[in-house]
Structure formats: structure tokens, C-alpha cells
Amino acid sequence: MQLDDLDFADDLALLSQTQQQMQEKTTSVAAASVAVACTNAITIDGEDLEDVKTFTYLSSIIDEQNGSDADVKVRIGKARATEEHLQLKATVNQYQGQDFQYKCQDSSTV
């Protein structure tokens, strides 16, 4: 399954594989917008649409190939950071309240 568009509360992200597909989708959105008197939110003629390589939608990263590799890497990184934090917290809690005694020994070097 491939995403064609993502609808935001006040925005729309169109996804396409080719420039021609993007032009067709953009023209279709412009026509639909005119039909419902929503002309101020879309600029096409005279303005280049912003071309982004990646964007985040509902905490998921979408890239220009509709892939999820970047999203998976970010989620794995967050999971690792959380795991390390929990391990550190468990270690600190394990020794909390214990008196540590350090014994210094004299050493002679010959």
C-alpha cells in the first residue's frame, strides 16, 4: 500500500513518484479548492511548491521514497536511550541509601 496524500488539520501533504503525478495532484487540489471557495491557502502559479525530503506526521517520519527506514532508526534510537536510562536508574536505586566506604591503600613504587 502506498500513501498518496496526508491530510492535516490545516494543511495537505501530497506524495508522488514523478513530477507529472505531482502536477496532476496539485491541479486536482487547486480545482477542488476553487469549487469550495478555498483559494487563499493554495498557491500554484508563480510560486514553487516546497519540496521536502522528509517530514514528520503523527510522530512518524515519511521520506521521499515513502519509506520508513528513517522512522525505524529514530524509534530504535529512542528505545535504546530509554533502556539505558532505565538501567542507570535501576543501578542508582540499587545503591541508594547505602554507605560507601573507600579504603585508600598506600602503594610504593620502586
Enumerate the domain spans of the chain: 1-51, 53-96
Q: What does the pLDDT look like over 13-52, one tens digit per residue?
A: 777 888 898 888 888 887 887 787 765 555 567 776 666 7
Q: What is the mean pLDDT of residues 41-65?
A: 69
- Res. 72 pLDDT band, cuts 50 70 90: confident
Q: If we measure between CA atoms, which residue out of 56, 51, 58, 54 comes closest to residue 26?
A: 51
pTM, to two decimals: 0.34
Grid cell of 1 as nine digits: 500500500
Sorting pLDDT into bands at 50, 70 and 90, what band is 95? confident
**Phi first, then psi: what are they for 83, rounded to 5°?**
-60, -45
CA 41 to chain centre: 25
CB atoms within 10 A of CB 62: 20
Backbone angles phi, psi at 62, to 5 degrees: -110, 130
Q: Is the pLDDT of residue 91 over 50?
A: yes
